[in-house]
Structure 1
Amino acid sequence: MKLDFPNVGETIHHVVLDNGLTVYLLKKAGYEKTYATFTTKYGSIDRRFKTDDWIEVPDGIAHFLEHKMFEKEDGDVFQKFGQLGASANAFTSFTRTAYLFGATSNVEANLKTLIDFVQDPYFTEASVEKEKGIIGQEIQMYQDNAGWRLYFGLIEAMYEAHPVKIDIAGTIESISAITAADLYACHQAFYHPSNMTLFVVGNIDPDIVLEQISSNQAAKTFEPPVLTEREHVQEPRTVRLATRVIEMDVSVPKVMIGYKDTPRAGEDGMKQELAVELLMHALFDTTAPLYAELYAEGLIDDAFSFDYTSEESFAFAVLSMETPHVDAFVARITEVLERPLDIGNETLDRKKRMMKGQFLKALNSPEFIANQFSRYALTGGNMFDLPELLDAVTLEELYDTYDRLFKPDQRTVCVVKKP
């Protein structure tokens, strides 16, 4: 199936194979690098799920599994990619795990390597025990990182029951309980082709690449999917804690103000994400009148940032600053966001043009396309619909978004400062 997107000048080749694997192929003529991502809808929040019975696994296991997938009986997969001239990597987020490579040659061999190693797990108790020490050091490194502690401290204060509040890597204690059997159980549940998306972008012949992928999958035997249900927790609309202070040896205090939002999925989630991003740009980017005010007052500088995270089961907005004037910064931001909104169509249209320009510029990056397209595809959205959805956001929707999101009982403040 060809999906044409004339608004961005792209054509996606899309197919769902007999085993359930979703494949997207995008030809970018003239590009030297080919980039591929093999992504499963499985992240750190999937700590309790049902196959025959309900299974609860240790925190951090999705990230642990990602690490262990690269180690095989015949050696390290990174070395194999290196021999083929490719740069490989992987990451685990709250909601997905992605394996990827970029290469300018040996694309067929690299693609086969990517697919095969992700679909062929190999774990031993000895190798699992060894990995615990490696990941334990990584966890400790993050615990010594003030920015990481600030971010997860905010989320922990914001959420009462949702597992998003748990560090993606888990804790040294939680990973100590992981066994090879646990890893195999999670791979069986979440790495079935029907739960995965393969995206390849570059100067490729889609028909040839699709034939390679189809032949690869047809030569393998897969058991029927065993995952029947994921845990869905009831999360209050309000935050768990209004404030949280973390003491660390930092030269300048760091502060985050978070606003908990109501999540939406698919196209509705994309629309909500765009509305919040438009709103935050209109209020806080460097061209906004408020930015100039706060800058003149000495409350913000180039360290100021804002962001919005949106997934199927959680969503939140964040404003961040490194400042010795934490109380003044928090007071000023919260005071501003408790005023009635005052934005007109001229500002909205200007921010739409800016965001659309940023999006179109990003389409020059195969890495951006593969990662972001896969992210939206796993939740029923299509990244190439973003320009049209952006155009459709109305001023009324912006005002509704403002009234819904920036409420005092949905606000958490987290600070990292010296004892």
Structure 2
Amino acid sequence: MRKIDYRQINETLYTEVLPNGLTVYLLPKAGFHKTYGLFSTDYGSIDNQFVPLGKTEAVRVPDGIAHFLEHKMFEKEAGDIFQVFGKQGASANAFTSFTKTSYLFSATENIRLNLETLLDFVQEPYFTPESVDKEKGIIGQEIGMYQDDPYFVQFSGLLESLYPEHPLAVDILGTVATIDQITADDLYLCYNTFYHPSNMKLLVVGNIDPEETMAWIRENQAGKDFPAVEAGKIQRIFPEESLSQIRSEASRTLPLSRGKGALGVRGRLADLPVDSRELVRFRYGANLLLALLLGNTSGNYLRLYNEGLIDDSFGYEYTLDRGFHFVGLYGDSDQPEAMIEALKEILFNFAKDPEVNETNLELLKKKMLGKYFQSLNSLEYIANQFTQSQYGDLTIFDVPEIIPTITLQDVLAAGETLLHAEASGVYYLYPEEGAN
């Protein structure tokens, strides 16, 4: 078991790769009552075309299957796993993103029992045609609810504009039509490919003894058989990258009281740094540039706010994940077109913007670090962000060493790499006539 000391934040992480390929991380946190266990697979909604383990031909599975599989993992022949955790004094949850599926529990007691329950239920699939058909109606209702959420529709619409030929264009849940195609055999195919221990990570964080906890995990995993697989050898298939497919503008109507506008800029994978540390620097450099240009203390934000083009609903994000990266800006406005034009003017002229200067950058770096240190007081934050924010060997605990090193030149370079008008798309939501 390897021990990594992060002296700046007074944290010690223990890690080990087990013989079956599972990577384990243990973070002892003395003085905390709760313990979190998070079991994640590097498999999400975009992984719908791949070569199954042990095969040579690629397959295409229905959209939404990763999320569907997450739902079905909790149902076993003996009953509902949520009830099992409840009887053991724990609460459980799961979530599927574009690139990850994670299962977690939190508890203050019976940590070994709950940890073994987490490992066992995720590593013992049980799917039947009957249970699969029953789940289709449940997830169909969930899809319907999201389609009534304007924020969800706006985000999905923007991604569809930026990535029309990519799996990102389809929601994580899929559609009613695609989930209707899912079979138990499809679920087993995806499970056997992506839920192999070599494609998974386990994090346990809380008031634990690392040696004792690792011994529990080793014993649990030693009692199970998995086929021998070389780590990182899953063949995933994605369309060739092309910015020419971007839809420059799209819209739809909903029963809204005000319009919504979203501006997105799609980044090219070929432009990203290869080195993990440089990639993290790029990620935070891009976030700092957006904060300089449009953070709620910037002159640009205050000007647009005073002009009535944006309000408190305005927000932005830079997303960097496996296989894609993009900028998104979102807001409600009585003048959505004018808002988007003003945002374009700011975004695509960033290098000349007076807000982008050394003084403002140093202030924002301190603010970013302050939020980071505050977040480490939440075990839930650590558990949920750890696998989502991992780049190579770097973890969220490397962040406080990287942020202070980011220079104004780094920030400007991130903008030069990322912010190109020809790679942008706009999505509007307009109120239906008579909606007011």
TM-score of the superposition, structure 2-length normalised?
0.93
Residue-by-residue CA offset, 1:151-205 (whole Å, 9 max, x unaligned):
0100000113221111101111111111101101111000000000000000111
- Kindly state the Cα deviation for residue 379 of structure 1 after the two structures are TM-superposed: 5.0
Distance in 1 separating the partners of 2:24 and 2:178: 35
**Is the contact made by 1:78 and 1:88 (CA closer than 8 Å) also made in structure 2?**
yes
User: Which sections of structure 1, spanning at least 5 residues, go unmatched?
Assistant: none
SS of match in other structure, 2:198: helix
Which residue in 2 is equivalent to 1:152?
156
2:341 corresponds, among 308, 331, 338, to 331
Note the C-alpha offset of 1:248: 1.1
Select the residue among 301, 308, 322 that pairs with 1:312: 322
Sort the Cα spacing of 1:281 and 1:378 in 2 relative to 1 into closer, same or farther, 3 A: closer
1:129 alignment counterpart: 133
Whole-Å separation in 2 of the counterparts to 1:302 and 1:160:
30
Mark the CA change 1:236 to 1:381 in structure 2 (over 3 Å): closer, same or farther: farther
Equivalent of 1:404, from 414, 417, 427?
A: 417
Give, as a single letter, the amino acid of the residue that structure 2 aligns with 1:18: P
Whole-angstrom distance in 2 between the partners of 1:314 and 1:260: 8
Letter in 2 for 1:26: L
* SS of match in other structure, 1:306: strand
Task: Report the Cα distance in structure 1 between the residues aligned to 2:277 and 2:238, rounded to whole angstroms.
Answer: 20
Which residue does 2:251 correspond to in 1? 245
Consecutive unaligned residues of structure 2, counting only runs of 5 or more, are none
Q: CA deviation at 1:378?
A: 6.7
Question: 1:368 aligns to what?
Answer: 381
Greater mean alpha carbon deviation, residues 204-213 or residues 218-227: 218-227
1:271 maps to 2:281 = yes
Give 1:403 shift.
2.4
Q: Which amino acid aligns with 2:17?
A: V
| 1:191 alignment partner in structure 2 | 195
Amino acid at match of 2:428: V
Q: Which residue of 1 aligns with 2:224?
A: 220
Sort the Cα spacing of 1:361 and 1:238 in 2 relative to 1 into closer, same or farther, 3 A.
Answer: farther
Q: Secondary structure at 2:8's aligned position in 1?
A: coil
Please give the secondary structure, in 1, of the residue aligned with 2:103: strand
C-alpha separation in 1, matches of 2:8 and 2:321: 25
Determine helix, strand or coil for the equivalent of 2:229: coil
Q: Secondary structure at the match of 1:99?
A: strand
Partner of 2:28: 27
2:89 aligned with 1:88: no
Q: Quick one: structure 1 residues 232 and 268, their matched pair in 2 at CA, closer, same or farther if it must change by over 3 Å?
A: farther
Instruction: Please list, as runs of the form range in 1=range in 2, the aligned pairs for 1:221-236 lying within 5 A after superposition.
Output: 221-225=225-229, 228-236=234-242
Q: CA contact under 8 A between 1:150 and 1:246: conserved in structure 2?
A: no
Given candidates 306, 312, 315, the residue that maps to 1:302 is 312
Which residue identity lines up with residue 150 of structure 2 in the other structure? A
Tell me if 1:78 matches 2:78.
no
Residue 380 of structure 1 deviates from its aligned partner by 4.5
In 1, Cα distance between equivalents of 2:41 and 2:175: 23
| CA offset digits 1:7-54 (Å, max 9, x no partner) | 211100100000000000001110011011000000001001113121
CA apart distance, 1:142:
1.0
1:375 is paired with a residue whose SS is: coil
> Aligned-pair distance for 1:324?
1.3
Q: Determine if contact 1:243/1:412 at 8 Å carries over to the other structure.
A: yes
Counterparts of 2:372 and 2:163, CA distance in 1: 31
**Paired amino acid for 1:293:** R
Residue by residue over 1:291-339, the C-alpha shift from the partner in whole angstroms, topping out at 9 and shown as x without a partner, is 1111111112211111111112101111111111111111111122232
Superposed structure 1 runs of 4+ greater than 6 Å apart: none
- Per-residue deviation, 1:384: 1.1
Q: How far apart are 1:225 and its partner, in Å?
A: 3.1
Of 191-200 and 326-335, deviating more is 326-335
The TM-score, its normalising length taken from structure 1, stands at 0.97
Distance in 1 of aligned mates of 2:61 and 2:348: 42
How many residues align? The count is 419
Identity %: 44
**Aligned amino acid, residue 7 of structure 1:** Q
Residue 355 of structure 1 corresponds to 368
The amino acid of 1:298's aligned partner reads G
Structure 2 Cα separation of the partners of residues 173 and 50 of structure 1: 24
Task: Decide whether the 8 Å contact of 1:258 with 1:411 is kept in 2.
Answer: yes
Q: Secondary structure at the match of 2:388?
A: helix
Looking at structure 1, the residues matched to 300 and 353 of structure 2 have their Cα atoms a distance apart, in angstroms, of 12
Q: Which amino acid aligns with 1:411?
A: S
Structure 2: distance between partners of 1:304 and 1:418? 18
1:224 shift after superposition: 2.2
